[in-house]
Each structure stands twice: as C-alpha cells, then as structure tokens.
Amino acid sequence: MLTTKVITFSNYIDGEWKEAVSGKTFDSINPANTSEVVGTFQASNEEDVKLAIEAASQAFPSWAATAPSKRAAILNKAASLLEQDADKLAEELTREEGKHVKDAKNEVLRSAQTLRYYAVEGQSFTGETFPNDDPNMNVSTEREPLGVISVITPWNFPVSIPARKIAPALITGNTVVFKPSSDTPLIALRLVEALHNAGIPKGVINFVTGKSSDVGDLLVTHPAIKAVTFTGSTAAGEDIHQKSSFTTRTQMELGGKNPIIVMDDADVELAATLTINGGFSLTGQACTGTSRVIVLKEVKEAYVQKLVEKTSQLKIGNGFEEGVKIGPLANEKQLKTVLKYIEYGKQDGAELVYGGEQLTEGEFGKGFYVTPAIFTNVSPDHRIAKEEIFGPVVAVIEAENYEEAIRIANDVEYGLSASIVTNNLKIAHQFTKEIQAGTVKVNRTTTGNLINAPFGGLKKSSTSTFRESGRVGLEFFTQVKTVYIGY
Ligand code: NAD
C-alpha cells in the first residue's frame, strides 16, 4: 500500500517558520476520506499570537514608509507564484476542503487576480482636495494605514477570502496577523508562503494556526490590533465585535439565508438551473448560496418538477472525479448540522421531495456525503426557512404574488444576497429596491461576486461598516487625516 508521509507545517512569525510555543499540533483531514491526514499544523496559543503581534508592530513603520510601487511588486510576484503552482495548490485545496479540483483551481487563480487587482488599485487610492474661500490655503485629506490588522477567515473559500483581506491591507501599508480556519490551514499557508517567496519583509505578514478558543481572544483584544477583518458565522462575528475595543475597527462578513424569487412569468428551466447552481454547487457551502426559493403558486408545480429532475442528475463524489457536481461537506460538524436541519424540516411539517440522506456505501462511507435535499410546502416560520444551514438544502416556499414573496424574502434576520427570476422589468426594478440584501441579482444565481465590485451583507450578515472587495475594499484599511496648509 502506498503511504504518503504527513508533513508538519509551521507558523510564520517575523519572517521565520516557527513551531508553536506549546509544542502541540493538530491534523487537517480530507473530508472525502477522513483517514487521510492532509497535513499537521501548529496548535498555537496566546504566546504565539503575542510574538506575531509584536513582529507585526515592529515591522509596521518601515512597511508603511515603503514605496507603494515596491509593495505592489511583492503582491504581483506572489500572484505569479500562485499562478505557477495553481495545479498543485488546487489539489491541496481539494484534499483539504473537498470542493471540486476545477473550482479549487479557479479559486487559486482568483486569489492571484485579487493580489494583482489591489497592486494596481492600491497605488492610486488617495484622499481628496477641497475648494475653500481662503486663496492662500490648501485643504486635503490623506489616507494612512492603521497598523496591525487581524485577519480571521473561514474554510469555505480558504484562499480567496484571505487574499481579498490581506492584499488591500498590505498595499495600503498595514501589517498583518493571519489566522485561518483549522479545517483549511494548508492552502492558507500557501498564500503566506507565496508572499514570503516574493520577498515580503519580515514581520509584515504573520501566520498563526490553532483553535479560536486558544488564539481568538488575543487576536481581537490585544491593544496593538487596530482592526479585525473577519469572515465567518454570525455567532462568532457578534462575539468578536463585542469583545473588541471601541478604537478597534471591525469588518464582519457573516452568515446568510439567501432567497431566489421565482415569478409567475419565469422560465422554470432557468429558475431550476439557477437554484441548483446557487444552492448545490460547492455542496451548498457558499455564504451567498441559495437556501430559500419563494415561488409563485402558478408556476410552483412545473418549477419543482424541473428542480427535482435536474437535481437527480447531479453526480456526487470525490472532488477529483470528472463530472462531480457535489463533493463532501467540509467537516463532521457540517455533516451533523445538515442532517439535523433535514430532521427539523420533517418535524416542522415540510415535505422532503428529494434527497437529504447521508451516503455511507463504499467510498462514500469514508467521507461526509449527503444527497442534496429539496423541501416543499415549507412555511416561512419553519427552522429550515429561517436559520442558516450552510449545506445542500433548499426550502421551497409558495407565495400568492410578488408582494407576499418579497415580504417572505425579507422576513429573516440575514441580508447577504438575493435573486429574482423574471422578465418583468418593473418587478425586477421594484425587487432591487425592496429586497434587504447587500448583493441583489436578476436572472442570475445568488452566488458569485466580482473582484472589482463591492461585496458585503445587510442586517445580521455584516456589521455593514465597510464593504469588502473592489476599490471600496481599501477604505477599511486606511484612516483619513484632514490637512489645512496656509501659505
Ligand atoms: P466560524 O465562524 O466557525 O469560523 C470562522 C473563523 O473564525 C475560523 O478561523 C474560526 O477559527 C474563527 N473563530 C470562530 N470563533 C471565533 C471567536 N470567537 N474569536 C475569534 N475567532 C473565531 O465559520 P466557519 O464555519 O469557518 O465558516 C462558515 C460561516 O462563514 C458561515 O456562517 C458562512 O455564511 C460564513 N461566511 C460568510 C461569508 C461572507 O462573506 N459573508 C463568506 C464565507 C463564509
């Protein structure tokens, strides 16, 4: 039998690869085959975090004073390294997180593109000048970096989310302490390694792995931390936001319960395809994933028929197999949560018309597999219609008309992404105004966002303080100083 040696990976602090002070480690496992250890990582504690924050603090003045073009050159070099290694990195990402290797490669390339995007945008990100009544005075604003930034990220986009936080932080002259999810530390480390190999000065980026209960508090409460950029669950985001001091900036990108409204004039084939691509791709584990379908009664039957027919054709399996559309869930907690909500759906009186079973036969038995679940006759007050599941479960809710549909769509505490399927221009416009979501789409999936456009949620999907992504994504990482010069 072929056995591969498991590599132990280090933290990265002050430009060096270092073991955790505790001497302890943890394993990252393959969710498609739980007997496979992808890598062993440092189980850090607050001592390691302190060292990382000290290194980042020391590196800050000189990095802030480094020419923007030099900072940009490092981001561009790191992007080239990610691109060169994209196939290898994609394989590692798939082994660690489970998504299909084609999706993994797209994510690696998107991360490289994000570094390049901010290398350009960040160099022209500046203040404004203000006309005033005094002919002998200039009034302008300058944008300055904040200092040390904590970057805390989830496992579902384990390299593109860190890239869209780290790149704008670095290009504007901040230094970073980065803690990835313990489910996907390897691909996160590869991003840091690319920056290291691109010649980033010591201390500018630091990388610490470990449990949030061991390292999370200090990453948020240490007085040298000037800002925390976090993506993850709403519960963790609320906790972090409350713990951080009022002078620490927070950017919290959180959970969702994203609806797609299917109007009575909708092409049901298109509506079913959009639902599947939005709800079941990445095994339903996208924050913008479709989890509720609000369908007008006239087209409900035809739509559900199409949805079930198309869902039954989706191939489930290991992310390395050709044609696989649904991989494993990313970890055991995810599996348990998804199965729990499928039970809730049945208990609350919804009708499970497709899927919702754990797969345990043969190869499936080694991983965290479930068949995609479609519930109909869902009432807006059912738990599967209100709470984030973060898995391949779609709740179909019937509505009388547009007014009822939009009321149901808005009747949740989240507001991340939403879509409508219609050719009625008036309804489409009305929807973009009335829906409570940070990303609003017409005849497109709830998932997906551009690198160059703002991204973020409303309500409990975000603190809504600063948007990520695009040019506005740079604002969070800079503070404004207003300068009056009389002469
Ligand atoms: P999670 O909240 O469990 O963990 C996210 C990260 O935060 C991990 O690195 C974790 O170790 C750390 N963490 C958890 N609790 C913490 C605490 N109290 N203090 C400091 N750090 C803490 O989320 P997850 O399971 O990794 O990811 C899934 C969640 O992420 C879903 O809710 C999903 O909607 C959300 N998400 C949101 C977006 C977005 O942009 N809005 C994007 C992707 C994922």
* Residues ≥6 apart with Cβ < 8 Å to 148: 53, 56, 57, 60, 174, 175, 176, 177, 224, 225, 226
Claim to verify: residue 287 and residue 305 sit in the same structural domain: yes
Domain that holds residue 223: 11-254+462-486
Distance CA 392, CA 337 (A): 11
pLDDT score of 334 more than 70: yes
Distance CA 151, CA 476 (A): 12
Q: Does any domain span residue 175?
A: yes
Q: Does any domain span residue 218?
A: yes
The pLDDT value recorded for residue 138 is 98
Q: Does any domain span residue 30?
A: yes
Claim to verify: residue 246 and residue 195 sit in the same structural domain: yes
Q: Is 273 in the pocket of ligand 1 (CB under 6 A)?
A: no
The pLDDT value recorded for residue 216 is 84
Going by CA atoms, what residue is nearest to atom 15 of ligand 1? 236
Distance CA 284, CA 370 (A): 11
* Residues ≥6 apart with Cβ < 8 Å to 242: none
Assess contact for 331 and 296: CB atoms under 8 A: no
User: What DSSP state is assigned to residue 27?
Assistant: E
Claim to verify: residue 200 and residue 283 sit in the same structural domain: no
**Catalytic site residue from 253, 388, 398, 468:** 253
Distance CA 199, CA 183 (A): 28
Going by CA atoms, what residue is nearest to atom 19 of ligand 1? 216
Q: Is 231 in the pocket of ligand 1 (CB under 6 A)?
A: yes
Claim to verify: residue 299 and residue 398 sit in the same structural domain: yes
Nearest ligand 1 atom to alpha carbon 181: 9
Q: Does any domain span residue 3?
A: no
Q: Please, which pLDDT band fits residue 35 given cuts at 50, 70 and 90?
A: very high
The total domain count for the chain is: 2
Claim to verify: residue 262 and residue 250 sit in the same structural domain: no
Q: Is 284 in the pocket of ligand 1 (CB under 6 A)?
A: no
CATH classification of the domain holding 344: 3.40.309.10
Calculate the average pLDDT of the chain.
97
pLDDT score of 1 more than 70: no
Q: What is the pLDDT of residues 206-231, one digit of tens each?
A: 999 999 999 989 999 999 999 999 99
Claim to verify: residue 468 and residue 363 sit in the same structural domain: no
Ligand 1 mean position to 420 CA, how many Å?
27
Active-site residue flag, 253: yes
Q: Is 97 in the pocket of ligand 1 (CB under 6 A)?
A: no
Q: Which of 1-10, 321-330, 452-461 has the lowest mean pLDDT?
A: 1-10
Ligand 1 mean position to 234 CA, how many Å?
8
Q: Tell me the average pLDDT across 118-134.
A: 96
Claim to verify: residue 325 and residue 420 sit in the same structural domain: yes
Q: Tell me the average pLDDT across 166-188.
A: 98
Q: Please, which pLDDT band fits residue 10 given cuts at 50, 70 and 90?
A: very high
Claim to verify: residue 316 and residue 421 sit in the same structural domain: yes
Claim to verify: residue 332 and residue 477 sit in the same structural domain: no
Q: Is 218 in the pocket of ligand 1 (CB under 6 A)?
A: no
Ligand 1 mean position to 88 CA, how many Å?
26
The pLDDT value recorded for residue 228 is 98
Q: What is the pLDDT of residues 354-363, one digit of tens each?
A: 999 999 999 9
Ligand 1 mean position to 130 CA, how many Å?
41
CATH classification of the domain holding 70: 3.40.605.10
Q: Does any domain span residue 129?
A: yes
Q: Is 215 in the pocket of ligand 1 (CB under 6 A)?
A: no
The pLDDT value recorded for residue 328 is 98
The pLDDT value recorded for residue 3 is 55
Q: Does any domain span residue 98?
A: yes
Nearest ligand 1 atom to alpha carbon 233: 32
The pLDDT value recorded for residue 5 is 86
- What tokens appear for 56 in the block? 């980042």
Q: Does any domain span residue 455?
A: no
Claim to verify: residue 183 and residue 291 sit in the same structural domain: no
Distances, alpha carbon 158 to alpha carbons 85, 92, 130, 384, in Å: 16, 11, 41, 26
The pLDDT value recorded for residue 232 is 98
Q: What is the pLDDT of residues 237-273, one digit of tens each?
A: 999 999 999 999 999 999 999 999 999 999 999 999 9
Q: Is 254 in the pocket of ligand 1 (CB under 6 A)?
A: yes
pLDDT score of 4 more than 80: no
Claim to verify: residue 343 and residue 470 sit in the same structural domain: no
Q: What is the pLDDT of residues 392-434, one digit of tens each?
A: 999 999 999 999 999 999 999 999 999 999 999 999 999 999 9
Nearest ligand 1 atom to alpha carbon 239: 18
Q: Does any domain span residue 29?
A: yes
Claim to verify: residue 350 and residue 248 sit in the same structural domain: no
